[in-house]
Amino acid sequence: MSEAASVQAVRATIGDSEFDRDTAVTLREPGVYDIDLSAGWTIINAVNGGYLLAVLGRALADALPHSDPFTISAHYLTASQPGPAVVRTDVVRTGRTLSTGQASLFQYDEAGREVERIRVLASYGDLDTLPDDVRTTAKAPAIPPMDQCFGPQDAPAPIPGSSAITDRLFLKLDPSTLGWALGAPSGKGEMRAWFGLADGRDADPLSLLLAVDALPPTAFEIGLSGWVPTVELTVHVRSRPAPGPLRVSITTRNLAGGFLEEDAEVWDSADRLVAQSRQLARVRLG
Amino acid sequence: MSEAASVQAVRATIGDSEFDRDTAVTLREPGVYDIDLSAGWTIINAVNGGYLLAVLGRALADALPHSDPFTISAHYLTASQPGPAVVRTDVVRTGRTLSTGQASLFQYDEAGREVERIRVLASYGDLDTLPDDVRTTAKAPAIPPMDQCFGPQDAPAPIPGSSAITDRLFLKLDPSTLGWALGAPSGKGEMRAWFGLADGRDADPLSLLLAVDALPPTAFEIGLSGWVPTVELTVHVRSRPAPGPLRVSITTRNLAGGFLEEDAEVWDSADRLVAQSRQLARVRLG
């Protein structure tokens, strides 16, 4: 069965999909949520930072009077593992248009003590109440048609040390940003792809938090291998995405002193810039 | 006396300047700092958000084992006023290379109760220990020589409702981003300027937090007037700035739904990209 056909056959919906089940948090007491972090969203052995941000974002959507993360800033403290975790939220301020909250995700050490993994500050609103004015001068990234792009499924053999998350994503990379995979990185800090969820679930504000951190690191195209752990990631969600695949473009302009920034833009099928993000990451040479 | 001569005559130094005196925090008890917010850094009646970020950044530099803000994310909650304030810090995690802290700035209501103004999450390190590798593809902004740029002092009469902060800054705006001041905004969301402190103090990592939020809003060049309050501002400090004036470039690409992003780059006299920032701001039509 072709990939496209398989997506059609099992098409999941917002609220009933792998992503929704794996980010579901259970209220333990007011402001405190339990979750079992899924092993399905790991890259090598690390839980993907965008998936983790979506988990925190979902807890805050429950804790705050507004439902959509307008701007969410995460500082990554220690590496998360699949398994039990607790999210502790704090309502900082509630307003008519915006409310601000804080959340931390903790896991447990051998002695059962909580170890903080990520801390987040976020301001939430309601995307559906925003006026329709758009004066965007940003241009959607020029990515070739999907059938001219390449995903992990197109590789002749499984990539060594490949990652559970590749089965959950529909990712088709622009061949002009794929030089690294052929041993010939372009030297430009760019990565572009079509992005969706493998089960066909459409995008929503929470899955945009995943989309901004799901492509291979731009460092690969700069000619660096090894791990590029996120120090801080801030995402602005600017519009509710239309149904259909997203286009994600990631750019690094400043690699210096062992750190780099990654700027992501996410465009929806209606040609709207639905999310912008920036992260600061460390370069750990492999 | 010419402006340049006056700067030479009273040249202040890092540690002994208006900026240093006005951001000085006094330890009240471990992790808690008092400050009197200066009326010298106001725009109309609001205390400048970059000055406030520098105050919080300075408290965290004292509270954390590292001295330089590598990435600092601020969510602005309520409008600050000149006068007494307290900064409460929390050490989130300390590591060898990076440590992470949280800080909140509070002022007092009529009943003397604390009202939170800003909450910040930040990861600090030591810029002087970073390796020298630079692979920046970003280009410094093309700003005409300083004597072809214009500052508030060049206006024929004081700007109505003008602001105390203009006396503290050395700001020379690129004439190609000054159309708004002549009633002919370019329609492009760009603002560029030479930036320094009026007393001649050189830049350091803390004053970079001021530099990213000190230019007129890009919204003016898009043709909007009125207030553009910051919701969230994240700054990455990437290098210790060399002595001499800075160049600051601010760009907005996506004005939509009543919000816009402002991306700032700060370049030093040695042509290094020393800071990058992004903020989400609300557009309040005037």
CB < 8 Å to A280, chain B: 70-71, 123, 236
Residues B182 and B117 placed together within one structural domain of the fold: no
Chain B residue with CA closest to A260: the answer is B238
Closest chain B residue by Cα to residue A138: B253
Residue A188 shares a structural domain with residue A95 = no
Dump strand ranges (E) for A109-189: 114-125, 169-173
- Asked if A137 and B253 come within 8 Å (Cβ–Cβ), the reply is yes
Contacts of A106 in chain B (CB under 8 A): none
For residues A53 and B189, give the distance between their C-alpha atoms in angstroms, rounded to a whole number.
30
Decide which of B97 and B136 is more confident.
Answer: B97
Q: What confidence tier does B61 reach under pLDDT thresholds 50, 70, 90?
A: very high
CB–CB contact B100 A93 (8 Å): no
**Nearest residue on chain B to A231, alpha-carbon basis:** B123
B257 closest CB neighbour out of A75, A238, A254? A238
Q: What is the mean pLDDT of residues B195-200?
A: 96
Q: A100: which 2 tokens?
A: 């601000």
- Measure in Å the smallest separation between the Cα of B189 and chain A Cα atoms: 8
The closest CB to that of B231, out of A77, A78, A123, belongs to: A123
- How far does B131 lie from chain A, in Å, by closest CA? 5
**How far apart, in whole angstroms, are the C-alpha atoms of residue B234 and residue A280?**
10
Residues of B with Cβ-Cβ distance to A278 under 8 angstroms: 234, 236, 276, 278
In order, the DSSP letters of A31-54 are TEEEEEE-GGGEETTEEPHHHHHH
CB B121 within 8 A of CB B55: no
Cα angle A176, A179, A180; round to 5: 135
- pLDDT tier for residue B5 given thresholds of 50, 70 and 90: very low
Contact B121 A121 (CB under 8 A): yes
Q: How far is Cα B207 from Cα B14, in angstroms, rounded to an integer?
A: 10
Distance from CA of A4 to the nearest CA of B (A): 33
Pick B101 or B222 by higher pLDDT.
B101
The reported pLDDT for the residue numbered A5 is: 47
Residue B138 falls inside a structural domain: no
Q: A171 and A264: one domain?
A: yes
Query: Quick one: CA dihedral B192, B194, B198, B199, positive or negative?
Result: positive
CATH number of the domain enclosing A22 = 2.40.160.210
Same domain for B156 and B275, yes or no, is yes
Taking residue A154's Cβ as centre, other Cβ atoms within 10 Å add up to 10
- Same structural domain, B153 and B123: no
**If you average pLDDT over every residue of chain B, what do you get?**
92
Are A278 and B276 a contacting pair at CB < 8 A? yes
Residue A133 lies in a domain: no
Least Cα distance to A182 among A220, A139, A227, A236 occurs for A220
In a domain, B208, yes or no: yes
- Do B179 and B119 reside in the same domain of the chain? no
Structure tokens given for B175: 């004439």
Look at residue B2 in the predicted model and tell me its pLDDT. 46
Question: Could you say which of A122, A239, A256 has the minimum Cβ distance to residue B257?
Answer: A239
* Residue B236 counted as domain residue: yes
Domain stops at, among A128, A162, A187: A128
Range of the domain at A117: 3-128
- Smallest Cα–Cα separation from B66: which of B126, B3, B117? B126
Q: Which pLDDT score is estimated for B136?
A: 87
Report if residue B137 sits inside a domain: no
Residue B139: inside a domain:
no
Q: pLDDT tens track of chain A, all 286 residues?
A: 445 445 456 799 999 999 999 999 999 999 999 999 999 999 877 899 999 999 999 999 999 999 999 999 999 999 999 999 999 999 999 999 999 999 999 999 999 999 999 999 999 999 999 998 888 899 999 999 999 999 887 876 555 556 889 899 999 999 999 998 888 999 999 999 999 999 999 999 999 999 999 999 999 899 888 889 999 999 999 999 999 999 999 999 999 999 999 999 999 999 999 999 999 999 986 5
Q: What is the ipTM of this complex?
A: 0.94
* pLDDT(B174) > 80: yes
Residue at which a domain ends, from A128, A154, A171: A128
* A163 and A277 belong to one structural domain: yes
Q: What is the CA radius of gyration of chain B?
A: 18
Average pLDDT, chain A: 92
Q: Confirm if B234 and A73 have CB atoms less than 8 A apart.
A: yes
Per-residue confidence (pLDDT) for residue B157, from 0 to 100: 56
pLDDT number for residue B143: 97
Contact list in A for residue B127 (CB cut-off 8 A) is: 257
Could you say which DSSP state residue B134 is in?
B
Q: Which of A17, A22, A81, A20 is nearest to A46 (CA)?
A: A81
Whether residues A231 and B70 touch (CB distance < 8 A) is answered with: yes
Is there a contact between B194 and B247 (Cβ–Cβ < 8 Å)?
yes
Say how many domains are in chain B: 2
Q: Which residues of A touch B234 (CB under 8 A)?
A: 73, 232, 234, 278
Question: How close does chain A come to B73, measured CA to CA in Å?
Answer: 7
Are B273 and A254 within 8 A, CB to CB?
yes
Residue B233 above 60 pLDDT? yes
Residue that has been written with the tokens 């520098």 in this structure: B54
Verify that A190 and A80 share a domain, yes or no: no
Give the Å distances, CA to CA, from A98 to A64, A91, A125, A136, A237: 10, 12, 5, 22, 13
- The pLDDT assigned to B108 comes to 96
Q: Cβ contact (<8 Å) for B254 and A232?
A: no
Do B163 and B98 reside in the same domain of the chain?
A: no
**What's the pLDDT score for residue A134?**
87
Residue B107 inside a domain? The answer is yes
Structure tokens at A150: 């390449």
Can you give the pLDDT at residue B154? 80
Res A84: pLDDT = 97
Kindly determine whether residue B257 and residue A134, on different chains, have CB atoms separated by under 8 Å: yes
> What is the four-CA torsion angle of A259, A260, A261, A264, rounded to 10 degrees?
-130
Distance, C-alpha B148 to centroid of its chain: 24
Band (B1; pLDDT cuts 50, 70, 90): very low
Among B75, B133, B256, select the one facing A257 at the smallest CB separation.
Answer: B133
3-state secondary structure of A150: strand
| B156 CA: distance to closest CA in chain A (Å) | 33
B102 → chain A, closest CA residue: A119
Closest partner CB to B259 (pick from A77, A238, A272): A238
- Asked if residue A140 is part of any domain, the answer here is no
| Nearest alpha carbon to residue B210 among B158, B264, B167 | B264
Distance from CA of A281 to the nearest CA of B (A): 10
Closest to A278 (Cβ–Cβ): which among B70, B238, B278? B278
- Give the rounded distance of the alpha carbon of B14 from its chain centre: 16
Supply the DSSP symbol for A239. Answer: S
Preferred mutation among B64, B107, B137, B283 to probe A, highest tally of A CBs within 10 A: B137
- Cβ of A236 within 8 Å of Cβ of B98? The answer is no
Q: Could you tell me if A202 and A158 lie in one domain?
A: yes
Mean pLDDT, rounded, for B75-89: 97
In this prediction, residue B63 carries a pLDDT of 98
What is the mean pLDDT of the segment spanning B267-277?
97
Nearest one of A203, A276, A280, A263 to A237, comparing CA atoms:
A276
CB contact under 8 A, A234 and B234: yes
